[in-house]
């Protein structure tokens, strides 16, 4: 199969032929239909997070089941599926206490002594997040997939796999935004726009979108933002406090920067909660004013929207098909696998919400 291979930090991905194994007892072979180009992948290309190479990146995908292993009962050939990087085992402490997105049980991977799922010239090729979606096929554990309705367009279904689940989940599950509350979202990419739409669905009375690109701020209005703030126009904390009369109940940081994480905490009202969704680079420390904790302000992280993805994703698809979630506007470009490096270059400009690779099989 063809795949985009990550070999060296700071270098373009290369399109190569990769060998893919046959499904083990609990594995599923999926023909990839579409995959989103996510900022999380770029973090590894830029060396902000460590990775074992060679590796196939990509994790925000949808496709069709081609073959299932002998012990798989949940899926069958022809099923439409979405992949999720928070693969779960189903019986560890995290899974059994309702925190499936935090499962890190190695049994969902193949052992290092066995045949690798992906290889090239008899040498193993790594799968990012146990998925490796920048490829014509994926071989994954059955618990990395959710079956979805077949009338959901694949290019939009792919975005449910990361951006949508992370954004909506952080609002619904991690922060538990209440009707009538005030919300600020820093960063209007795919995840941030999903946060904004989620806050609108949750009944927030005031939703402030913050970015430095005017076109993305205008797009945020479509997703439910009631107010917009351009971060280049002055102190964002002061602007949010003026708009809300003292700060927001909930803030969401959807970029992954030290400054914006600190801003998310600073723009809270007393008793407010800041949720950091963006991937802050390894080694970066966040500095906060200690006295603010006396006002019961809180800051927390969120892993993939604290999701229960086999329950959440079908519901999010229903939101879209009912016209409550605005996925169509989130896709900036549809591209081929061979254009992936151009997509990452454009991503660095900060002007696009999401590019989606669509495969022609």
User: What pLDDT, in 10s, does the model give residues 209-235?
Assistant: 999 999 999 999 999 999 999 999 899
Average pLDDT taken over every residue of the chain? 95
For residues 193-232, one letter each, b for 16 or more C-beta atoms within 10 angstroms of the residue's C-beta and e for the rest, the string is: bbbbbbbbbbebebbbbbbebeebbebbeebbbbbbbebe
Q: What is the DSSP letter of 277?
A: -
pLDDT of residue 342: 94
262-267 CB contacts, 8 Å cutoff, 24+ apart:
262/286, 262/287, 262/288, 263/186, 263/236, 263/237, 264/184, 264/186, 264/299, 265/292, 265/297, 265/299, 266/237, 266/292, 267/184, 267/236, 267/237, 267/240, 267/241
Taking residues 180-193, what's their average pLDDT?
Answer: 96
pLDDT of residue 39: 87
Taking residues 257-273, what's their average pLDDT?
Answer: 97
User: Is the pLDDT score of 357 beyond 90?
Assistant: yes
Q: Give backbone dihedrals phi and psi of 2, rounded to 5 degrees, phi first.
A: -85, 140
User: What is each CA distance from 86 to 10, 72, 166, in whole angstroms?
Assistant: 26, 19, 11
Task: Count CB atoms within 10 A of the CB of residue 38.
Answer: 26
**Residue 114's pLDDT band (boundaries 50, 70, 90)?**
confident
**Residue 256's pLDDT band (boundaries 50, 70, 90)?**
very high
Tokens of 59: 């994790």
d(CA 179, CA 81): 32
User: Is the pLDDT score of 113 beyond 90?
Assistant: no
pLDDT of residue 112: 82
pLDDT of residue 353: 76
d(CA 22, CA 178): 47
User: Is the pLDDT score of 352 beyond 80?
Assistant: no
User: What pLDDT, in 10s, does the model give residues 3-47?
Assistant: 999 999 999 999 999 999 999 999 999 999 999 999 889 999 999
User: What pLDDT, in 10s, does the model give residues 134-175?
Assistant: 999 999 999 999 999 999 999 999 999 999 999 999 999 999
Taking residues 319-340, what's their average pLDDT?
Answer: 94
User: Is the pLDDT score of 348 beyond 90?
Assistant: no
Angle at 359 between CA 354 and CA 361, to 5 degrees: 165
User: What is each CA distance from 65 to 29, 68, 97, in whole angstroms?
Assistant: 6, 8, 30
Helix (H, G, I), strand (E, B) or coil at 198: helix
pLDDT of residue 67: 98
pLDDT of residue 215: 92
d(CA 149, CA 168): 19
Give yes or no for a contact between 2 and 136, defined as CB atoms under 8 angstroms apart: yes
What the chain holds in terms of domains, given with CATH numbers, is 2-147+327-358 (3.90.180.10), 167-302 (3.40.50.720)
User: Is the pLDDT score of 361 beyond 80?
Assistant: no
Give yes or no for a contact between 162 and 41, defined as CB atoms under 8 angstroms apart: no
Angle at 101 between CA 100 and CA 105, to 5 degrees: 70
DSSP string of 225-266, one letter each residue: -SEEEEGGGS-HHHHHHHHHTS-EEEEEE-S--HHHHHHHHH
């Amino acid at each position: 199969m063809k795949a985009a291979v990550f070999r060296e930090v700071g270098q373009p991905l290369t399109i190569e032929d990769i060998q893919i194994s046959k499904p083990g007892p609990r594995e599923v072979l999926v023909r990839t239909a579409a995959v989103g180009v996510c900022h999380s992948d770029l973090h590894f290309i830029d060396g902000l997070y460590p990775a074992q190479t060679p590796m196939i990146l990509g994790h925000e995908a949808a496709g069709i089941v081609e073959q299932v292993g002998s012990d798989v009962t949940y899926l069958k050939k022809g099923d439409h599926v979405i992949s999720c990087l928070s693969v779960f085992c189903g019986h560890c402490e995290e899974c059994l206490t309702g925190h499936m997105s935090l499962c890190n049980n190695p049994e969902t991977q193949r052992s290092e002594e066995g045949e690798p799922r992906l290889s090239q010239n008899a040498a193993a090729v790594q799968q990012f997040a146990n998925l490796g979606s920048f490829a014509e096929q994926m071989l994954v554990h059955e618990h990395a997939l959710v079956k979805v309705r077949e009338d959901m367009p694949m290019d939009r279904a792919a975005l449910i796999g990361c951006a949508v689940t992370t954004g909506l989940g952080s609002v619904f599950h991690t922060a538990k935004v209440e009707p009538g509350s005030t919300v600020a979202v820093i960063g209007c990419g795919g995840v941030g726009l999903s946060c904004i739409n989620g806050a609108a669905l949750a009944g927030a009375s005031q939703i402030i979108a913050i970015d430095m690109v005017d076109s993305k701020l205008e797009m945020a209005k479509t997703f439910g933002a009631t107010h917009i703030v351009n971060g280049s126009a002055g102190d964002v904390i002061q602007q949010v406090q003026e708009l809300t009369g003292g700060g927001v109940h909930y803030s969401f940081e959807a970029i992954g920067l030290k400054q914006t994480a600190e801003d998310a905490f600073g723009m809270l009202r007393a008793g407010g909660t800041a949720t950091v969704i963006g991937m802050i680079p390894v080694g970066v420390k966040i500095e906060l004013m200690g006295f603010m904790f006396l006002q019961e302000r809180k800051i927390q992280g969120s892993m993939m929207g604290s999701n229960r993805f086999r329950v959440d994703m079908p519901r999010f698809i229903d939101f879209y098909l009912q016209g409550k979630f605005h996925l169509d506007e989130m896709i900036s470009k549809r591209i081929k696998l061979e254009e992936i490096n151009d997509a990452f270059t454009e991503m660095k400009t900060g002007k696009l919400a999401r590019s989606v690779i669509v495969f022609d099989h």
